[in-house]
Amino acid sequence: MGVIAVAGGTGGLGRAIVDSILARGNHEVLVLSRKIDVAKEQEVGARFIAADYSNVASLVSMLEENKIDTVISTIDMQQSLEPDLNLTQAAERSSVTKRLIPSMWGTKYDERIESMFSAGKGKMTLLRAVAKTNLEYTAIYIGYFLDYYVAPHVKSYMNGRPLFLDIPNNASATPGSGNTPVGLSYSIDVGNFVAALIDETNWEKENFIIPDKVTWNEFVKIAEEAKGVKFSVQHDSIEDLKAGKMSELPGYEKVFYPTLPKEKFGSVLSIYGILFESGALDLKPAHSLNERYPDIKVHTVKELVTKAWEGKK
């Protein structure tokens, strides 16, 4: 039995991973958190460990004192890359830590995506730092999260952050033609695959989870059928996207604008639109965790959207 630490395990994808590892019962699970919340610790069912992500030496001591052999990071890198870089450095310096799953997730990042926006640059910077270590590591790619469109109406620890399709307000601002497939992963499924993978030895440097794929046009139709309502649909051309122009949706003001200024959000959204339309989220690896673990169920978009929105006008 190993000791697995999940950074960011109090919520979101991290919490889903913690749940899945606990359910398998093969490892001790610790949650790394900036501060200890006793009530949350009892709710999660795993021991919380205080982590000072600004102090590498402190992180090394924490890893060694708790005999943590595997670190899984689900830290949100939108605010700062420092926590993940410091955690990577600490894992490398720790005498007991041997394995790391960095906070990559999403699509497979490359130099093209890196050049387009800061999130891509941050992910590539992290991956290069991990690759320079002597740790056994794997980057896991999952597409985009379906949870953003179905939470909180189905089980999920993630908050709704829906791009392009505003199901509550029956509207869509579809990037490009809307005919390019997009892989949409359910975080609970991702957690199950990760929990299975950590039982393995000799990880590949990268692993893929192939989720259910739909085009944006199909996604809109699924949502319309679930709600029994016709959506207002707009299409933004690639030319408009490249010019930084993107149609607004009613839900953006409530979900995104409080933390990201409207002007900055618009430019980021346009980049995502280009990525989605170009097929960056249509993962096509030679091998996948789905093939390795065929008994793990992958929920479909239609299944979860129907469960979340059926009959809701």
Please name the CATH architecture into which domain 145-183+212-282+293-309 falls: Alpha-Beta Complex (3.90)
Element (H, E) at 99: strand 99-101
Sequence-distant (6+) residues with CB within 8 A of 13 are 74, 105, 145, 157, 158, 187, 190, 191
Element (H, E) at 182: strand 181-185
Segments making up each domain of the chain, as ranges: 3-137, 145-183+212-282+293-309
Splitting the chain (313 residues) into consecutive groups of 10 residues, what average pLDDT does each group show? 95 98 97 94 96 97 98 89 97 98 92 78 93 98 97 93 94 96 97 97 95 97 97 94 88 86 84 92 94 97 98 84
| Closest among 183, 179, 185, 174 to 273, alpha carbons compared | 174
Residue 70, beta-bridge partner list: 4, 99
Check if 3-137 and 145-183+212-282+293-309 are the same fold: no
Q: What is the pLDDT of residue 231?
A: 98
Q: Burial, 262: exposed, middle or buried (Cβ in 10 Å; 0-12, 13-18, 19+)?
A: exposed
CATH number assigned to the domain with residue range 3-137, chosen from the 4 options 3.40.50.720, 3.40.50.300, 3.40.605.10, 3.40.50.2300: 3.40.50.720
Q: Which two tokens stand for residue 138?
A: 């794997």
DSSP alpha helices (H): ranges in the chain? 12-24, 38-44, 56-65, 82-93, 111-116, 118-131, 147-150, 187-197, 216-227, 238-242, 250-255, 262-278, 289-292, 301-309
Q: What is the pLDDT of residue 25?
A: 94
Tens of pLDDT along 11-25?
Answer: 999 999 999 999 999
For the whole model, what pTM was predicted?
0.95
Tens of pLDDT along 219-260?
Answer: 999 999 999 999 999 999 999 988 888 898 999 988 888 888
